Structure 1
Amino acid sequence: MSYETRPQTYDETIKILEKKDYRGIAEFILPSVKDAEEVSLEPTQLSVPDMREMDFLAKVNMNSESFILHIEFETAYKSNTEMMKRMLRYYTYIKWHNDLPIYQVLVVLKKPENVKNIKGTFESKVQNLDVLKYKYKVIKAYEIDKNEVLKQRKIVLYPLRVFMKHDEIDEEQHIEECLKVVEGLEDKDYYYLTVECVKKLYKESKYEKYVKEEILMQSSLYREPYEKGIQQGRKDEKVNTVLKFLTKRFGILPDEIKEKIEKLDMINLDIILDKVLEYKDIDDLKKFLH
């Protein structure tokens, strides 16, 4: 299995899934949340310069009990010590700003290469005095049966099925099946997010033949990429998006068409993005640009 790993690879994906159905994520990670009277998202942005933003933070009111649910999704698990320090720092930060009890969960997406036993507990003792006992729940996504997500109809987790157990089929069949599941969903963003997870995890040669461009193009995320560093809304970037979109649809564009598109305002650029799938051929585009 070939991987392309880097810190925070899936941060944007998790944030988008969170916006779509944060309660669904919470209920899958902690099933008892199904009985909660209220689940509300909390701010995850930290004021500490060297700390990464938390993946998921929510306040839960359930059966006369209130607590904070904190979930971290990890793809590059390096060591128990490093992760425990990071989780503990998150805990102290949350506790500093909110005095409610905190339920922490670590979801390990990719199986670590150099850590055989993932730990979620830490005890500190000095002079026979128990100074600290710390614990968080560990969920290993790669040990979860991916079909269980389908049984529970947890659509928000469909893109993350890419990481889950698939012993009965090989990698290419697994990729094809994961994409097939999201292909028919009304919200095409799930297809886009599944492709993003797949392409970060496998070599391009393994997945590219299974990706259907006509479905991918229907996702709003395809039109407005969320990769770090992209400033959305600027005209030059919108032009590049339109040109890329049209090139994928019709092939290499004539220079005269490129020049006309570059001169369009934001409104007309958006019109092209909205109607591009309706254009039967490049002549339909030329009529619009005339």
Structure 2
Amino acid sequence: MAEYDNLCKILAEKYPRDFTRWLLNQEPRTIEILKTELSIEPIRADSVTFLQTENRILHLEFQTTIKSQKPISLRMLDYYVRLTRKYQVPVTQVVIFLQETSNEIAFTEEYVSEVTTHRFRVIRMWEQDSALFLSNFALLPLAPLTRTDSAQALLSQVAEEIAKIPDIETRQNTAAYTEILAGLKFEKDFIRQLFREEIMQESVIYQDILHQGEQKEALKYTLRLVNRRFGEIDLLIIERLQVLSTEQLEGLG
């Protein structure tokens, strides 16, 4: 389900101020999107965003599934140490779980070992009040995943809010974002009743997400082959593989 995590990363980097207001409850004077070059697991970088305000780094990690080769809590400690060492400013870390689950991983907010305890925030979208998300088109695509007594009524309300967006391109892209994320919770037929198919087809962002998802899968497959053949490979080689197209990766495989 990498396409869902990747979409949330796109949203956070497209609307960094809105995500900062939501998660830090403050208005940043300056904000910068940092590269995800700190990742020692390049495949994981598709769901990680680093936003730097004037005095803090906001580290966001989006999660659809709870399966991970390295525990999420350990990964958060790993990032925290490297971010602190490199930038020497306070770091706020937030793991955002998109799809409802009762698994304890979604309710774990710290890493604990014999000598270390590291804490981070966890947001479970299904517990969030929908009002905040309905009132901000930057966060609107996440609204279908929020708390509600009537999921269908909520999605209908989301569609109504999208229809009010005056700019055509923004409206198309927001509809595309929303339809994709709503797929985590709703049947496709019901989603299509509310969102016209042509909006999805016209959305450049939607097409980009589809292509990125295909490229990510091809990259994962190629890296598995390379690791199996040569063992652990240099990070520089991995970075060169990341920029190849789906077709180039398939040919290399």
Q: Same fold (TM over 0.5)?
A: yes
Residues 38 and 124 of structure 1: CA distance in aligned 2, closer, same or farther (over 3 Å): same
Of residues 154, 164, 174, the one that matches 1:184 is 164
Q: How far apart are the structure 2 equivalents of 1:116 and 1:68?
A: 24
Q: Which residue of 1 is the match for residue 51 of structure 2?
A: 58
**Is this contact kept in 1: 2:99–2:185, CA < 8 A?**
no
Q: Aligned partner of 1:59: which letter?
A: Q
Counting only pairs closer than 5 Å after superposition, residues 1-290 of structure 1 correspond to structure 2 as 6=1, 8-32=2-26, 34=27, 36-46=28-38, 48-49=40-41, 52-53=44-45, 55-61=48-54, 66-78=55-67, 82-115=71-104, 118-125=107-114, 131-150=115-134, 153-167=135-149, 169=150, 171-185=151-165, 186=167, 187=170, 188-222=172-206, 224-228=208-212
| Structure with greater helix share of residues | 2
**Is this contact kept in 2: 1:78–1:114, CA < 8 A?**
no
3-state SS of the aligned residue for 2:99? coil
Identity of aligned residues (%): 23
Q: How far apart are the structure 2 equivalents of 1:195 and 1:137?
A: 27
> Pairwise CA RMSD of aligned residues?
2.7
Shift of 1:224: 4.8
Deviation digits for residues 200-231 of structure 1 (CA, Å, limit 9, x no counterpart): 43332332222213433443324555433658
Q: Aligned partner of 1:173: which letter?
A: A
Q: How far apart are the structure 1 equivalents of 2:7 and 2:106?
A: 27
Deviation digits for residues 234-280 of structure 1 (CA, Å, limit 9, x no counterpart): xxxxxxxxxxxxxxxxxxxxxxxxxxxxxxxxxxxxxxxxxxxxxxx
3-state SS of the aligned residue for 1:105? strand
5+ residue gaps, structure 2: 216-253
Deviation digits for residues 50-103 of structure 1 (CA, Å, limit 9, x no counterpart): 661152201121xxxx22111112222359x92211212222332343232211
Q: Aligned partner of 1:145: which letter?
A: D
**Number of aligned positions between the proteins:** 209
Shift of 1:17: 1.3
3-state SS of the aligned residue for 1:155? coil
3-state SS of the aligned residue for 2:15? helix
Q: Aligned partner of 1:228: which letter?
A: Q
Shift of 1:189: 0.5
**Is this contact kept in 1: 2:7–2:209, CA < 8 A?**
no
3-state SS of the aligned residue for 1:221? helix
Residues 149 and 46 of structure 1: CA distance in aligned 2, closer, same or farther (over 3 Å): same
**Is this contact kept in 2: 1:105–1:136, CA < 8 A?**
yes
Deviation digits for residues 154-175 of structure 1 (CA, Å, limit 9, x no counterpart): 22110011110111x2x33333
Q: Aligned partner of 2:32: which letter?
A: S
Compute the TM-score of the two structures, normalised by the length of structure 2.
Answer: 0.71
5+ residue gaps, structure 1: 1-5, 126-130, 232-290
Q: Which residue of 2 is the match for residue 273 of structure 1?
A: none
Residues 67 and 113 of structure 1: CA distance in aligned 2, closer, same or farther (over 3 Å): same
Compute the TM-score of the two structures, normalised by the length of structure 1.
Answer: 0.63
Q: How far apart are the structure 2 equivalents of 1:122 and 1:105?
A: 14
Q: Aligned partner of 1:165: which letter?
A: R
**Is this contact kept in 2: 1:78–1:115, CA < 8 A?**
no
3-state SS of the aligned residue for 2:3? coil
Please say which structure displays the higher CA radius of gyration. Answer: 1
3-state SS of the aligned residue for 1:52? helix
Residues 159 and 212 of structure 1: CA distance in aligned 2, closer, same or farther (over 3 Å): same
